[in-house]
Amino acid sequence: MDKPTYRDASRSVEERVADLLERMTLEEKIGQMCQVNGSLEGSEEWVRERSIGSFLHVIGEPAARLQRIAEDTRLGIPIIFGIDAIHGHALCPGATVFPTQLAMSSSWSGDLLEKAGRVSAREMAVTGMHWTFSPVLCIARDLRWGRIDETFGEDPYLAGTLASGMIHGYQGGNLSDPESVAACAKHFAAYSETEGGRDATESGASERRMREFFLPAFEEAARTGVATFMVAYQAIDGTPCSANPWLLRDILKGEWGFEGFAVTDWNNVGFMVSAQFTAADIDEASKIAVEAGNDMIMSTPGFYEAAIRLLREGSLDETLIDEAVRRVLTLKFHLGLFDHKRHPELERAPGVLACDVHRKAALDAAYQSMVLLKNDRDILPFKAVRRIAVVGQNADDPSAQLGDWVGENERAQPRENIVTILDGIRARAGDTCEVVHARGCDVIDESEGFIHEAVDAAVEADVAVAVVGDVRAQTGEGHDRANLDLSGCQMRLLEAIHELGVPMVVVLVNSKPLTIPWIAENADAILEAWNPGMEGGTAVAGILFGDRNPCGKLTISFPRHVGQQPVYYDQRPGWHGGKYVDMTAEPLFAFGYGLSYTDYEYSNLRIENATLGDREPLSVFVDVENTGKRPGTEIVQLYIRDLVSSVTTPLKRLRAYERVSLDPGQKRTVRLEVPYDGLSLIDRQCRRVVEAGAFEVMVGASSRAEDLLKARFEVAP
């Protein structure tokens, strides 16, 4: 007997999907729409009796065993295994842990994100994983929100370009490649537009605001070819995202022509009943979700029985089920799960996870992620230092250094795999420099009992390195903050060191910008390390000692006070007075800001064509010279302002950037191009249009006015 068409790898994906769909029972179709936690009891039953489509967060041999069971079912439909590999395959024991997404965004390098995605995909593949719930395309707005560390920062354009690199890394040139995995753009959409910085609360974003700020990065991901989208938890103007056909059917699958599938976030369907109260029961919520355009339902086990009831009673259209299942099966075929990628090569995992090549990639990512915020009297890099005092809990706290979405015990991420900042400084200092360490205080605990030990360690030091910030308990999903000041007794520790008169370098290990005006005024140098991953200590030490020249730039603004928010750079005009009574409107550290161990000079800004015709791109040239004594990499930034428009527009919007490496004394002419649509706005009818009139282009080292050269151009009617 000839084998079925769907089992014939020589046939097209479309033919195979159509053949398989025709053979499936109602129950098998609904099963393919379900995703549950594979570590829970009853997983085998889900495979054998319900033909489940996907499991999440089950790794290695347990995943391989469930896949073998699936192969022996009536149709043998493979399972797609998903996991939150947000900055490396970090929920897997012993895997490579990269800096957090916010940290890596400070590199402004799509190439770096692509390399991180490629490493993550390789490590996922050898442990039986096919699908990462990454990249995160939420735009950071309110810094109190717990998930700021998962974002690419505050700018939609930059988020889109960096996400594109990461997607290419995950998915490679072809999804069927043995080392490729499916990416997932999340959380769709406006999840970060919270009320009060509270996770998953109502978003009041209008359609105009959605199209201007929260959809562009997702649209770029769709153009890049991302395989899946994850639908956000929250409601937008009263409608839960998983109940929103405008979002899923009209925009995602209609306007953008997205051909992959959309998965809900964790229990979105049940959430409509238990938390949002927009559905009376699971049956009503399931009907709403399917009709809205969700294709796979994450972690709502009750959906399976509910959908079957709805179909049998005729209150749910089976063609909608077929559409969803077709999308799920199509991805499985494209991934090669019916063929050569059905069973993972688990025996290869020990030689792949955190191998030397992957650790080197994590180290390079850490170096490029760090931002030098202050360097008075050129205290950095260290010169003729004989004794260094390293203080603060985060100097030797692997959990804080790795950040969120990482296995939480030593078995998951062995201590010997992690280079803490204390480890890195000790290794780099060698025998010629004494390194003394005192914890001083905890990040959360209010006790001052051990500050005197840090003072004793620092009193005779040439320099004190104080490592402060936040810890895992203060960040992540469901961990929003009302106060962005340093917690515990960290400020008292810093004040005690400062009182000694010893030069003080502050290294920030933190998941988000904190309110640190005292540090900005009193520290001699500040290095923003974020959560720098498993090789973070080596990178911090390398920068402190001058082995590498820091080149990172902020992708998110630092406020002076929590009440000063919002301080993101793309503000709109119209504020009466333009400042608070008790505080400036300017951020402590601005978007795009970052220092170097060398200096750069910008000059000779010119525009190729001062009047642009229809569809003509803007071409801009600027000279950038390294006027210092060290080679370095500068991130040249271009901003646009529409001077008079039919709706209010930001005072500046990032529209192009370029990383430029220069030797001392070297000058280069940098060309930056903005496509015609990069000059557009969303008008009152929610259309994307380019309006005729005067524009201003600004090019320089950051978003600060004092760092920008300016010129004007016109868009012809």
Cα–Cα nearest to 459, from 560, 526, 391: 391
The residues, ordered by sequence, that sit 6+ positions from 355 with a Cβ below 8 Å of its Cβ are none
Distance CA 506, CA 450 (A): 19
∠ at Cα 79 (45, 227), nearest 5°? 145
For 28, the 3-state DSSP assignment is helix
Which of the following is catalytic: 142, 149, 265, 295?
A: 265
CA dihedral 289, 293, 298, 303 (to 10 degrees): 40
SS (H, E, C) 626-659: ECCCCCEEEEEEEEEEECCCCCCCCCCEEEEEEE
- At residue 201's C-alpha, the angle toward residues 195 and 206, to 5°, is 65
Q: Is the peptide bond before 381 cis (omega within 30 degrees of 0)?
A: yes
Tokens of 10: 């020589």
Active-site residue flag, 456: no
Q: Is 346 helix (H, G, I), strand (E, B) or coil?
A: helix
Q: What is the 3-state secondary structure (H, E, C) of 157-179?
A: HHHHHHHHHHHHHHHCCCCCCCC
DSSP H/E element including 710: strand 708-715
Identify the three-state secondary structure at position 22: helix
Task: Tell me the sheet residues that pair with 477.
Answer: none
Burial 181-190 (b: 16+ CB within 10 A, else e): bbbbbbbbbb
What is the CB neighbour count within 10 angstroms for residue 493?
26
Under a CB-based contact definition with an 8 Å cutoff, are residues 137 and 221 in contact?
A: yes
Side chain identity, residue 70? A
Q: Which residues does the annotation mark as catalytic?
A: 265
